[in-house]
Structure 1
Amino acid sequence: MSDDIRLSRRILLAAGGAGLTGAALGFGGAARAASGPPAPSVPADTGAIQGDRVVFPNWRDAGDAPPPPPPAPMPPSERVGFAIVGLGRLSLEEILPAFGEAKKARVVALMSGSPEKAKLTAAQYGVPAEAVYGYDQWDRLKANPAVKAVYIVTPNGVHRDNVLAAASAGKHVLCEKPMANTPDEAREMIAACAQANVKLMIAYRCQYEPFNREVVRLARSGEFGRVKMIEAFNGQTTALPEQWRLRKALAGGGALPDIGIYCLNGVRALLGEEPLSIQAQIATPEGDPRFKEVEESVAFTLRFPSGVIAQCGTSYGVHESRSLRVHTTGGSFDLQNAFAYRGQRLAVSHREGGHVQRDEPVLTPKNQFALELDHMAECVLKDRKPRTPGEEGLQDLILMQAIYEAARTGNPVKVGLLANLPDGIDATRGPALEEGK
């Protein structure tokens, strides 16, 4: 064994004997063994425990940004247990894999109308066979103490019944968007959860995503002047006529409630205001079997109390495009892939001296589904109101109803804040998110 290897081992053993104190770990002091002569300084990469996480000193010089702290996940036994209700494409492709990146949530149960699929999925994610339920087995799920919350990932038209069943079972509820098919259904869901004293959160994942949050911060900070206009578009193609999203009873509508809601909710979340009026148009190809019941494309304009005008569009008939552009008196923000699951890129253009500068902030991408799962878990653990509660989902349903009305009549529709909520910024939302979360 070389002298260097012996020395390295002696350093680490000395650090262990000293209890991994801050001084022994390169936080400003020298490493010292429990007895004997002083040991050489311990490498900064060893780390030290502070509270419930391991931390390291910043090893970078002033020319580089300091690295983020390492993850500090809760022990699995202390995380909030979720039951996933509905094992369709979104659950299997995005939500269940996201638990691998979650720090405060874990999957402990599944509910599905397909027993064989549920059995296979349970085995893949370590869910006990006895914690797999059919849609008619809410009483069994109620009796499972490991389930603290349920995530409703079924078609929109059955959200109401699922949420009412979950509330009756005494479980907190995270429900996919759109919250329901109608505002009246949403009001029932809010009332049921309030009566059962359980939390209700709507899964507006973009409000937790780092790039979208940065656009909100920039817009509200006034750093580049006042926001004047916003452009939001969310479009994609659809091919299978039998897909449930093309059936009005299950989806409530076409492109608008499925993907156009991201534009509507994104603009509202960005400003924190509610629109005063809406204008809209709908275009649907005649004779296309895909669109016998629902619309293909919608364009709508929102006018806000601050004077901001938002031009929004959504379509099931265009090449995938998901963008958000904010125009201010002193700059513009362009967020590409704004409403996608991943791949966001932000560009900020502004005047710098005698020229226009275009910056691309470097942000750390994070799994949006893991972020919203952890937020819901934290609300359960700390008894907090979610950032995106039922009132947030209800307001979007009221506004989408107004968009359909404006398109039908060809006239502007006056709207505002839903009743029984105070005026002001973010009236339909819970407490602001902490930085870095």
Structure 2
Amino acid sequence: MRDHTRRDFLKSFGGAAAAWPFAGRSMAQHGEVAEAAGQRRVSGSVLMPPDQWKPLGYAVVGIGSIAMGEVMPALTKTKRSRLTGFVSGHPDKARHFAQLYGVPENNIYNYDNYDQIASNPDIDAVYIALPNSMHAEYTIRGAKAGKHVLCEKPMCTSVKDGEAMIAACRAANRRLMIAYRLHYEQYNLEAMKMCHEKQFGPIKMVDAEFSFVIGNPKQWRLDESLAGGGSMMDIGIYCLQAARYLTGEEPLSVYAQTWSSDPGKFSEVEENISFLLSFPSGVIANCYSSYGIDGMDRYRAAGPQGWIEMEPAFVYSGLVQRIYKDGKFTTTWPSTWDQFAAEIDAFSAAVQLNRDIATPGEEGLRDMKIIAACYQSARTRQSVALT
């Protein structure tokens, strides 16, 4: 880490938003019950009616932008889940949000006494919303404290850490899910189904790209010790995921290139990455992510009888699906689906009903292995076989 210790960073995490009391959306904006809640279908299974279970209590670990803007508001919409605790290096900030969301003050923890959640019956699970390199430590500590773990993507920053996270949760008999929210989003679920059923014929190609212009050059996403990499770890992983879930296959090899246009700003991590994934069926997926180009956010999967496209494809809301089939174009309305509420309730359902998780730790570990191969390919300028 550049000019601060790990402990100093944890104390400052989330404090960069000067107006943090107002950073979350208003409760009125989140008063509508999400389609994710209640009795509905998730990954092919009908959930139990809401009156037959007690909602899982979640402690949010890390009060940064994603926690304030997405996770906390989503927990006001869920039916199987509720917000019951906070873990933060900012006691004043944690107290503010505890009051806002009706969380008892004695359910606030810091990073030193985090392990004491073990004795709190209000907390059944933790949502890890920390910088990437901290996911492993706080997942492992959470599991050892007897809590189920829903961890933000990417799972971690190394294959070794991913394996340790899975092992810790297995040893503690706790469930681990990686927050790949698009696996719980209606249009993406439909795209997976159509591609797997070969409604366009066998898929021949996948294109995916995601980009934005990153701001503050001192933010943690540009610090390799915290982020583990650049645009690949943050947004390229969405393109990788799309290639995998649209084909329903695991890639055999990868060829990647990284480059940066601003060596000062991107001295530790890549600005751009382009990678080709080769799949057993012969599909080639062409993927690209960037911290230096604004507004690219799409994927397309195509076969001899048509194609399906999402644009935007990866952001939190407003996704639009476009289909070409039988000589006709079909375009959906922008999605209003709350992706965070859906994924959280899906995890709670898996815990409550002892069901399979669509995006378990093993799913995150597969991505970590492919990402490691991408970086190896970029360094060696050679294709890397995946095993």
Partner residue in 2 for 1:251: 227
Alignment partner of 1:319: what SS? coil
2:31 is aligned to none
Secondary structure of the corresponding residue to residue 296 of structure 2: strand
Equivalence map 1:163-242=2 (5 Å):
163-242=139-218
Give the conservation status (yes or no) of the 8 Å contact 1:73–1:104. Answer: no
Q: Tell me if structure 1 keeps the 8 A contact 2:319–2:335.
A: no
Q: Contact 1:74–1:104 (CA<8 Å) still a contact in 2?
A: yes
Asked if 1:299 is matched to 2:270, the reply is no
> What letter matches 2:115 in structure 1?
D
Q: Is the 8 A contact 1:303 1:310 kept in 2?
A: yes
Superposed CA RMSD in Å reads: 1.8
Match of 1:146 in 2: 122
Equivalent position of 1:365 in the other structure: 336
SS in 1 for 2:50: coil
Q: What is the letter of the counterpart of residue 261 of structure 1?
A: I
* Residue 138 (structure 2) aligned to one of 149, 152, 162: 162
Say which SS state the counterpart of residue 164 (structure 2) adopts. Answer: helix
403-412 or 87-96, larger mean C-alpha shift: 403-412
Q: Equivalent residue of 1:217, what SS?
A: helix
Report the AA paired with residue 231 of structure 2. Answer: A
Q: Does 1:409 align with 2:380?
A: yes
In the other structure, the counterpart of 1:338 is 313
The answer to whether the Cα contact below 8 Å between 1:228 and 1:307 also exists between their aligned partners in 2 is: yes
How many residue pairs match? The answer is: 343
* TM-superposition CA deviations, 1:274-300 (whole Å, max 9, x none): 101111111112433x21110000000
Under a length normalisation based on structure 2, what TM-score does the superposition of the two structures give? Answer: 0.86
What SS does the aligned partner of 2:204 have? strand
Name the stretch that deviates more: 217-226 or 373-382. Answer: 217-226
CA shift for structure 1 position 270: 1.7
Contact 1:301/1:311 (8 A) holds in 2: yes
Give the drift of 1:74.
3.2
Matches within 5 A, 1:23-422: 74=50, 78-288=54-264, 290-351=265-326, 356-361=327-332, 365-416=336-387
Partners of 1:138 and 1:76 in 2: how far apart? 31
The letter for the 2-side match of 1:327 is A
How does the TM-score come out when normalised to structure 1? 0.76
Kept in 2, the 8 Å contact 1:256–1:314? The answer is yes
Distance in 2 separating the partners of 1:163 and 1:250: 16
After superposition, the C-alpha distances for 1:7-40 in whole angstroms (9 at most, x for unaligned) are xxxxxxxxxxxxxxxxxxxxxxxxxxxxxxxxxx
State percent identity of aligned pairs. Answer: 41
Distance in 2 of aligned mates of 1:253 and 1:362: 35
Match for 1:166: what amino acid?
G
Q: Cα offset for 1:81?
A: 0.5
**Deviations 1:346-390, CA, capped at 9 Å, x for gaps:** 111123xxxx21112458631000001001100111112311111
CA contact (8 A) 1:173 1:200 kept: yes
SS in 1 for 2:98: helix
CA distance in 1, matches of 2:213, 2:107: 37
- Displacement of 1:217 after TM fit? 1.0
On the 8 A contact 2:209/2:296 being kept in 1, the answer is: yes
**Which stretches of structure 1, 4 residues or more, deviate above 6 A after TM superposition?**
none
- Contact 1:156–1:178 at 8 Å: present in 2 too? yes
| Aligned-partner Cα distance in 2 for 1:235–1:72 | 39
- Give the deviation of 1:104 after TM superposition: 0.7
Secondary structure at 1:396 match in 2: helix
Task: Report if the CA contact (8 A) 1:199-1:385 is conserved.
Answer: no
Is the 8 Å Cα contact of residues 273 and 304 (structure 1) preserved in structure 2?
yes
Letter in 2 for 1:151: Y
| 1:139–1:169 Cα contact (<8 Å) kept | yes
- Say if 1:211 and 1:346, in contact at 8 Å, map to a contact too: yes
- Cα distance in 2 for partners of 1:319, 1:364 equals 21
Q: Which runs of 5+ in 2 are unaligned?
A: 1-37, 40-46
Q: Which runs of 5+ in 1 are unaligned?
A: 1-52, 55-70, 417-437
Query: In the aligned structure 2, how far is the partner of 1:344 from the partner of 1:140?
Result: 40
Q: Is this contact kept in 1: 2:231–2:290, CA < 8 A?
A: yes
Higher relative contact order (CA 8 A, sep 6+): 2
Distance 1:246 1:76, change over 3 A: farther
